[in-house]
Amino acid sequence: MRILHTSDWHLGQHFIGRSRADEHHAFLHWLVTQVKAENIDVIIVAGDIFDTATPPSYARALYNQFIVELQSCQCQLIILGGNHDASAVLNESRTLLQHLNTHVFASSSSELNQQLLVLHNKQQQPAALLCAVPFLRARDLLQSQAGQSATEKQSSLQQAIAQHYQQLFALAQRYNSQHQLQLPIVMTGHLTTLGVTQSESVRDIYIGSLEAFPADAFPPADYIALGHIHQSQQIKANTDIRYSGSPIALSFDEANQQKQAWLIEFSSNNKTVSSLAIPCFQPLISIKTPLDSIKPKVQQVLNSLEKNKVLWLELVITETDAYLTDLQQRVEAELEGLAVELLRLRRQRNEQLGGLIDDAQASLAELTPSQVWQARLSSESLTDQQQQQLTNLHAQVLAKVQETP
């Protein structure tokens, strides 16, 4: 049994006004070729298939076309809902896709056996058990209780998630026992686990008040395939817990990451895990530089790219030049004639001043929501405790706004 673990496709994403359609098309074509070349039996997509709850028509077309192209490979496809995905969108074709060797798990089920699936190899023999856990929303697990403190809510939610995983794992064990089998147990999830490395494109999941789930609360499955974190990594734990990461860079701070998928092979009670490097379909980079070094630094990057590739660029101008009022025009003059698209121009923050370089010069696009919030708080006469309480409330509200239904 050979399983390919991927996640966080974010089909339909626009990156600072640029469509990712060509990149996603290239990635999905690459994925089909890998399924054939590596003789993959199962693909697990651990959440965030789409970037929004209402994906554009071309994103749905990419999704459907990929499933059609996969049919010649005799490969099972497992689709898990993420926090960006709307259950209704994924479920609208779920029954139809079952006839195309595709199983969709858009949300958790009150019937646990609906989340247990036997995975078959190409010889149609049972080869693994899948405990299919999508993004778990608080309303799916808990009933709100009046009077609970934030700490109590976090504890209750953590216990509910852990119980959901433990009950599913026990169900898989019973299946093995009842059928006198020893199939490896694979589990999935879409959440933040303690100890991960994040990037700026990841929207922290605040399920109720839970910020991260402890790794030791997962059951001792043979492999746990996670999504939500965009950097591929293995969690330090007794259980084999891994994030595949996103297949394309979704923010500039992911530009230097080697994107990959995990290939898991079970054979004769043994397991091996290796990585499949994903090609970069659209180069992008963030460069911190003074104004007079822009051209040589950008040219150095361009020299390393394939011909006819256009570089998507973020420039962070260091503080010596960041105060210039005609900065945009000067930067554009430096980049003239180069195969680049300047997607974002930022000024380096002066951390010693504890704020923005110049409120009048900094545009809203240069600031994160947290920076805007802190700038607003600084104009109020508040105690440290009041500021902290308001900041905590702001983080929870922001997460609710960003979380798709």
Confidence of residue 404 (pLDDT cuts 50, 70, 90): very low
pTM of the shown model: 0.83
pLDDT, position 97: 95
Question: What pLDDT was estimated at residue 355?
Answer: 45
pLDDT(177) > 50: yes
Mean pLDDT is highest, among 129-143, 147-161, 174-188, 339-353, for 174-188
Q: Which has more confidence, 52 or 396? A: 52
pLDDT digits (tens, 9 = 90+) for 82-109: 999 999 999 999 999 999 999 999 998 8
Residue 268 tokens read as 């004769």
CB atoms within 10 A of CB 213: 22
Split at pLDDT 50, 70, 90, the class of 211 is: low
pLDDT in tens, 123-147: 899 999 999 999 988 777 765 555 5
* Model confidence at 41: pLDDT above 70: yes
Maximum average pLDDT range among 97-101, 289-293, 322-326? 97-101
For residue 204, pLDDT over 60 is answered with no
Residue 112 pLDDT exceeds 70 = yes
- Check whether 49 has a pLDDT greater than 50: yes
9 has pLDDT over 70: yes
Over residues 379-402, mean pLDDT: 66
pLDDT score, position 203: 57
Structure-model confidence comparison of residues 137 and 56, the more confident one: 56
**pLDDT of 222:** 96
The DSSP H or E segment spanning 211 is none
Mean pLDDT rounded to a whole number for the chain: 85
Query: In this structure, which amino acid lies at residue 325?
Result: T
Closest Cα partner for 365 from 293, 316, 300, 306? 316
pLDDT (average), residues 334-362: 70
Beta strand ranges found along 132-240 (DSSP E): 185-190, 223-227, 233-235
328 vs 89, more confident: 89
User: Can you tell me the mean pLDDT for 395-399?
Assistant: 62
**What percent of the chain is modeled with pLDDT above 90?**
60
Question: Which pLDDT value is given to residue 212?
Answer: 77
Tokens of 241: 């817990």
Mark 126-157 as b/e (b = at least 16 C-beta within 10 Å).
Answer: ebbbbbbbbbbbbebbbeeeeeeeeeebbebb
Q: Cα–Cα distance between 22 and 11 in angstroms, integer?
A: 11
Give the model's pLDDT for residue 360: 45
- Strand ranges in 106-199 using DSSP code E only, listed in sequence order: 116-120, 126-131, 185-190
**Dist CA 83 CA 405 (whole Å):** 8
Q: What is the mean pLDDT of residues 286-314?
A: 90
What CA–CA distance (Å, rounded) separates 337 from 340? Answer: 8
pLDDT digits (tens, 9 = 90+) for 227-256: 999 999 999 888 999 999 999 999 998 988
pLDDT value at 209 more than 60? no
| Length of the chain as a residue count | 405
Cα–Cα nearest to 298, from 346, 341, 255: 341
Does the pLDDT value for residue 390 go beyond 90? no
DSSP summary character for residue 182: -
Check residue 354 and give its pLDDT.
Answer: 44
Higher-confidence residue: 401 or 263?
Answer: 263
Q: How far are the Cα atoms of 24, 392, 401, 405 from residue 397, in angstroms, in the given order? A: 31, 9, 6, 14
Cα gap 168→170, rounded to integer Å: 5
What pLDDT score was predicted for residue 334?
Answer: 92
Predicted confidence band of residue 262 (pLDDT cuts 50, 70, 90) = very high
Q: What is the pLDDT of residue 208?
A: 44
Helix (H, G, I), strand (E, B) or coil at 261: strand
- 63 close to 28: Cβ distance less than 8 angstroms: no
Q: Which residue has the higher pLDDT, 215 or 350?
A: 215
Three-class secondary structure of residue 38 per DSSP: coil
